[in-house]
Amino acid sequence: MKLSTQETPRAVLFDAYGTLFDVYSVVALAEQLFPGQGQALSVLWRDKQIEYSRLVTSSNDGAHYQPFWDLTRAGLRYACLRLKLDLTPPYEAQLMDQYRHLSAFAENHHVLQTLKGQGIQLGVLSNGDPAMLQSAVKSAGFEHLLNHVISVDTIRKYKTHPSAYALGEQATGMPARDILFVSSNGWDALAATWYGYQTLWVNRYGLPFETLGVQPTHTGSTLQDVLALFQV
């Protein structure tokens, strides 16, 4: 369903991990290194990574902040301890390097290219630190399609802190109501909705939305559903 002219966003900001880049594309390597445990490792690793980002943001007003790369490594180490896997230094290096080059979802390049062709400002607003994002964006071939690659590292607070979402307004020069924020993470889509963005939750896995009484502006199943919100 297309939006009215008054409601059509003038910019689109995408979450990176889970939305543009498949955080579970590490499964194949994890399975190769730890047969029978690849899926469990990838899920626990991701969950712990996000848990740590919330922990360091909410504790002492971010005084314990660490870059997302460090939290990602800490999450991997915890997951291996929890699953009783022997994470040798070479294995850790391989898995962390894989995180620099996560696979992009198949439809993403076409969607970004189509929106870019319409003159719409495009950007990433991510927990990832600048070096991580640069590697992922370059590996996916998205550099020429994005106007902004925004990292929360500049404020040392992770999403869902309001200061993180404010970075999108600052980068685009637009109020949140004129920006569509796209995320595959339900918690991220909810917090962005609370902040004031128009939101699209990309529900790739057929999950229920968060049960806190607020719904995203739109819901889809792939990034392709962004295009339905514009006259393209």
Give the C-alpha separation, 203 to 32, whole Å. 28
pLDDT in tens, 68-93: 999 999 999 999 999 999 999 999 99
* The CATH classification of domain 11-22+103-229, taken from the options 1.10.645.10, 3.40.50.880, 3.40.50.1000, 3.10.450.30: 3.40.50.1000
pLDDT in tens, 173-221: 999 999 999 999 999 999 999 999 999 999 999 999 999 999 999 999 9
Q: For residues 152 and 126, is the Cβ–Cβ distance under 8 A?
A: yes
Is the model's pLDDT at 120 over the cut of 80?
Answer: yes
User: With bands split at pLDDT 50, 70 and 90, how would you rate the model's confidence at 232?
Assistant: low
Intervals of CATH 1.10.150.240 along the chain? 23-100
23-100 CATH: 1.10.150.240
Residue recorded with tokens 């955080």: 23
- DSSP letters, 166-185, are HHHHHHHTS-GGGEEEEES-
Residue 24 has which token pair? 């579970």
Query: Which of 137, 173, 132, 138 has its CA nearest to residue 49?
Result: 132
Intervals of CATH 3.40.50.1000 along the chain? 11-22+103-229
CA distances from 128 to 15, 17, 132 (A): 10, 8, 6
Give the active site residues: 15
Q: For residues 23 and 132, is the Cβ–Cβ distance under 8 A?
A: no
* Stated pTM of the model: 0.93
